Amino acid sequence: MNQILDEQAPATAIQRADYSAPAWWVDSVDLCFDLDPIKTRVLNKMKLRRNTDLPVQALRLDGEELNLARVLVNGQGSTFKMDGNQLVLSNLPDECELEIFTTTCPSKNTKLMGLYVSNDSFFTQCEAEGFRRITYFLDRPDVMAMYSVTLRADKAKYPVLLSNGNLVDSGDLEGGRHFAKWVDPHKKPCYLFALVAGQLVCREQRITTRAGKDHTLQIYVRSGDLDKTEHAMNSLIHSVAWDEARFGLPLDLERFMIVATSDFNMGAMENKGLNIFNTKYVLASQATATDVDFSNIESVVGHEYFHNWTGNRITCRDWFQLSLKEGLTVFRDQEFSTDLAGTASARAVKRIEDVRVLRTNQFPEDAGPMAHPVRPDSYVEISNFYTVTIYEKGAEVVRMYQTLVGRAGFEKGITLYFERHDGNAVTCDDFAQAIADANPSSVLPSLLPQFKRWYSQAGTPRVSAQGVFDAASQTYTLTFSQHCAATPGQTEKLPFVIPVVLGLLDANGNDLPLQLEGQDEIHTGSQRLVLTEASQSFCFTGVNAEPVPSILRGLSAPVVLAFDYSDAQLLHLLAHDSDPFNRWEAGQRLAVNRATAAINDSSANPAALDAAYIDAMRAVLRHPTLDAAFKELVLTLPSEVYLAEQLTVVDPQRVHTVRQAMREQLAIELKADWETTYAATQETGAYTPDAVSSGKRALCGMALTHLCLAAVAEGNDQWPAIALQRFKNASNMTDRFNALSALVGSGHALAIPALEEFHALFKNEALVLDKWFALQVTAPDVGGNTLPNVKKLMKHSDFSLRNPNRARSVISSYCQANPAGFHRLDAAGYQFWSERVLELDAINPQVAARLARALDRWSKLAEPYRTNARQAIARVAAKSGLSKDTQEVVTRALA
C-alpha cells in the first residue's frame, strides 16, 4: 500500500480558511508494537465517538507507507475502502471500537518520520504528520486521546523500552523477548506520541520541586556517552525550576525523559514526557563541545521542556497555528537563557545574539519567495513551515505583547491563557485574547485587532524616522513612517502596531528626561512609544540642545529602522548609549555604511575603513569595563548575508572581498591591541561554560584569528605557530577549535597538519567530526579550491548522506555558510547544489527541502549568478517524482 505520487500533478495546497472540526473524536488509543527492524507489527485499538455537532460523515484515517492487514469494528470484520492515502469507513455506529492491524519496515525508513532505526535502536518522530506512518489515524492536532502502549522486542537487542507517561507493567516473554506497558495520564494529540527501544544507558536525577512533588529526570544515551550528559541534566533541572518560578508552571509528570539519537531531522522534539533529541543538543563535555554548544544545549533543553505547557498542555488547533506553540516557546527559552545569564551585560549579549539570528535568517526569508505570515494561510507541505518566521519572528511577536503590557502583565496573561484553555487545542487568536483580557487597563485591548496584523501580514516593516530639533521652542520632534514591501500573495499592507522603545542622549552621552508635549509624565531613561499609523510624530519638550536619538532599544519590534545617522552620532551612541543593544547596533551601522559604500563603488579600494572607525573599535577593545563577550560582538563585522540584504543587487564575490579586506585591515591596524587582548584573555582557569568565561574565550579566539590573518598578510609565521601550540595544548574544545579555525581561516599551511591531528584525536566523536567537516567546507575559497575539497570530503570514509547532521555539515555548510565558495562564476556551486538536492530528496525530503532553500535569494543576485542560479532551480523543479517538500520550495522560488 505504498504511496505512489502522480509525477506531474502539482501537490495541492491546504488552506487555513478550510478548517473544520473533526467528524470523529478518538477518546482512547491502545497500541501494541512487536518491534522488528524489518517488519514491525502494530495493533491499534481506538475508542471512537462521532462528533455530533456535525452532520454524519464517514471516518477517514490517514496512513502512509503502511501495510494494512486487518480492520475490525467492535470485534467484527468490516468493509472499508481506500481513497488515496486515506482509509475510509462508512456507516459506523456513533460510538465504536476500531481495531487496525498494520506492519511497517523501520529499517528502510530513511525519511526519519514515523518509526525508524538509528544505530540499532528504534525511535519515532511524529510531528507534524509522522504518526500516520505508524498506524492509520486522525492525524491532526485537535484530536486528543488517552494512550496506553505495549512494546515487545528482543530483550538482548532492545533492553530499554520507553514510551510516554508511566511504566505500569513489564516482564519477560517467550523466545528471549520482553515487554513494557506505558500509560500516559494526559490526553494528547498523536504528534506527541513517542517510543524508543534499544541499548541505552541513563543518567538519573530525583528532584523535589517548590510545590513539594518528587520527580525522576532521566537522560538516555548510547553507552559511551553518559559522561557527556551532565550539562543537559543541569539544564533540565534549571528549566523545571525556572518555569515554576517565572510562570508558576510546574512539572506535571512523575517521570520526565530525554533520549538522544544521532539521526534526527531537526533539533529536538517535545513528545509528552519522552523528549527525543538530536545528540547535538544533549551531549557535551569540555573536551568535545564548544561554549556555543553548551549554550545551545541549555536553550534547547529549556525549549522542549517549556513545550510541556506551551504546546502539550495547550496545543494547536491546526498546523496553521504552529507559532502559537513555537513562537511562544522560543520566547520562553530566550527569557530562560537571559535570566540564567545573570548580569545586565550578559543579558544584553543574549539579546544581541538572538537579534543576529533574526536578522540574518528571518529577515531574508521575509523578503524572499518563501515569505509567509507568522500564521500562514496555506501550505503544501507543513514540514516546510518549521521556519525562522514561525519560530523567531513568532517569538518577537510574543515579546511585543510583553513590551506592551509589561512583564507582570504578561505573566497574568499566561495565567489566564491556562485557566481558559488548559487541555485544549486552540488558535493564535485565543492566545492574543487571553493576554489582552488579563490586561484591561493596558494599551493592548484597544490595539488588539490591529496588533494581530503581525499574524496575518508577511514581510519586515521598514520604519523610517527623522528628528527635528527646534532651539526656539526647545523641542525635539521625531517623525516615524512605516512601510512594508509586497510579499508573495500580499501586495498591499496595512500599518502595524510597532512598540518603539527609545531614549535621547545629551552631549555627554546621558539619557535626557523625556516628556511628550501635552503630557505630565516624565520618563527617565527609556520611553515606549507605540506606532499605529503609516506616519506619525512625537514632540519631546524641554530639550535645550540637539540630542542623539537612540531608537528601537533592544530591538523592541522586528522591523528595520532607517535613520540618517551621521558618523558623529553613531560614534556617540557607540561610546555612551545606556542601552547596550543600541550601543552594539551603532557599531554595526558604522560598519554597514562603510561596507556598502565600498561594495557599490567597485572602483574603490575594498579596504574601506577610516581612522575614525578603527579608533572607535580600538577604544572598545581597550575599554576598561566592557565585558569580553560584548567586545567580541561589537568587533564582529556584519555577516556577508546581512550585508547582502542591505543591497539591491548582490555580487557575492564583491561582498566577500570587501568584508575580507575590512577584517584584514582591522587585523593589521589593531595588531598591538589584539596582542594585548590575547594576553589578557588566554587563560580562563578551570573550564566552566558560564557567560563571563565563555565571553573571554570568544574574544581570545577572535584576537588569535586576527593575529593569524595579519601574520599571513605580512608573511610572518609567529602567530600561526602560537595558534598551533594553543591548538595542541588546549584543555577544552572551545580553545582548541578556535585555534584550529584561526589557522584554517588564515589559509596558513600549518592548518593542514592541525586538521589531520584533529581528525586523529576525535575520529570516534561524531559531533566533533561534524565540526571538522564544516570547518573545511567554510574555509576561504583560495583559487576556487573549496568545491573540489567538498567533493573530496564527500568521498571520505566518515561521510554519509543518510545522516542529517553529517550531510548538513558538509553540503549545507558549503552551500549556505560559504557564499564566496558557493557563488562561483562558473556556476559549478549551483550545479553541485542541484545534484545534492535531488540525491537527498530520494532519501530524506525534509533535509533536501531545507538545502533547496540555499538559493532563495537568487533574484537579488547580479549577473551571471542570477541566470545561472535560476537555471539550477529550474533543473531541480523539472525532475519528476520530486517530494512535495522540495517541489513546494522550488516552485515558490521560480514563481
Residues engaged in binding ligand PHE (CB under 6 A): 125, 127, 266, 268-270, 303-304, 307, 326, 386
Burial class (CB in 10 A: 0-12, 13-18, 19+), 2: exposed
Q: What is the DSSP string of 486-502?
A: -BTTB---PPPPEEEEE
- Minimal distance in Å, beta carbon 266 to Zn ion? 9
Nearer to ligand PHE, 132 or 857 (CB): 132
Cell numbers describing residue 29: 488509543
Residues that bind Zn ion (CB under 5 A): 326, 329
- Minimal distance in Å, beta carbon 284 to ligand PHE? 19
Cβ(122)–Cβ(110) below 8 Å: no
Find the DSSP H helices in 80-170: none
Left if phi > 0, otherwise alpha if psi is -120 to 50, otherwise beta: which for 459?
Answer: left
- Minimal distance in Å, beta carbon 41 to Zn ion? 32
Interacting partner of 269 out of ligand PHE, Zn ion, none (Cβ under 5 to 8 A depending on kind): ligand PHE
Residue whose C-alpha is closest to residue 262's, from 110, 119, 162: 119
Interacting partner of 268 out of ligand PHE, Zn ion, none (Cβ under 5 to 8 A depending on kind): ligand PHE
Q: What is the DSSP string of 423-468?
A: TSEE-HHHHHHHHHHT-TTSSHHHHHHHHTHHHH--S--EEEEEEE
- Minimal distance in Å, beta carbon 123 to Zn ion? 18
Interacting partner of 386 out of Zn ion, ligand PHE, none (Cβ under 5 to 8 A depending on kind): ligand PHE
Nearer to Zn ion, 329 or 694 (CB): 329
- Minimal distance in Å, beta carbon 264 to ligand PHE? 7
Q: 33: helix, coil or strand?
A: strand
Nearer to ligand PHE, 325 or 583 (CB): 325
Interacting partner of 765 out of Zn ion, ligand PHE, none (Cβ under 5 to 8 A depending on kind): none
Nearer to ligand PHE, 397 or 617 (CB): 397
Interacting partner of 238 out of Zn ion, ligand PHE, none (Cβ under 5 to 8 A depending on kind): none
Cα angle 595, 579, 343; round to 5: 115
- Minimal distance in Å, beta carbon 498 to Zn ion? 26
- Minimal distance in Å, beta carbon 326 to ligand PHE? 6
**What is the residue whose three cell numbers read 530528496?**
841
Torsion angles phi and psi, residue 661, rounded to 5: -65, -40
Q: Could you give the strand order of the β-sheet that contains 560-563, starting from the edge strand earlier in sequence?
A: 535-541, 475-483, 462-470, 560-563
Nearer to Zn ion, 322 or 699 (CB): 322
Nearer to ligand PHE, 388 or 662 (CB): 388
> Radius of gyration over alpha carbons of the chain, in Å?
28
- Minimal distance in Å, beta carbon 299 to ligand PHE? 11
Interacting partner of 266 out of ligand PHE, Zn ion, none (Cβ under 5 to 8 A depending on kind): ligand PHE
Indicate which residue of 304, 365, 392, 765 is catalytic: 304
Residue 649, number of CB atoms within 10 A of its CB:
13
Select the residue whose beta carbon is closest to ligand PHE and give its number.
266
Interacting partner of 127 out of Zn ion, ligand PHE, none (Cβ under 5 to 8 A depending on kind): ligand PHE
Interacting partner of 125 out of Zn ion, ligand PHE, none (Cβ under 5 to 8 A depending on kind): ligand PHE
Burial class (CB in 10 A: 0-12, 13-18, 19+), 175: exposed
Nearer to Zn ion, 326 or 366 (CB): 326
The partner residues of 86 in beta bridges, in order of sequence, read: 62, 83
Left if phi > 0, otherwise alpha if psi is -120 to 50, otherwise beta: which for 648?
Answer: alpha
Cell numbers describing residue 77: 470484520
Cell numbers describing residue 610: 577610516
Cβ(42)–Cβ(63) below 8 Å: no
- Catalytic residue flag (residue 304): yes
Nearer to Zn ion, 203 or 303 (CB): 303
Q: What is the DSSP string of 255-308?
A: EEEEEEES--SSSEE--TTEEEEEGGGT---TTT--HHHHHHHHHHHHHHHHTT
Residues annotated as catalytic are 304
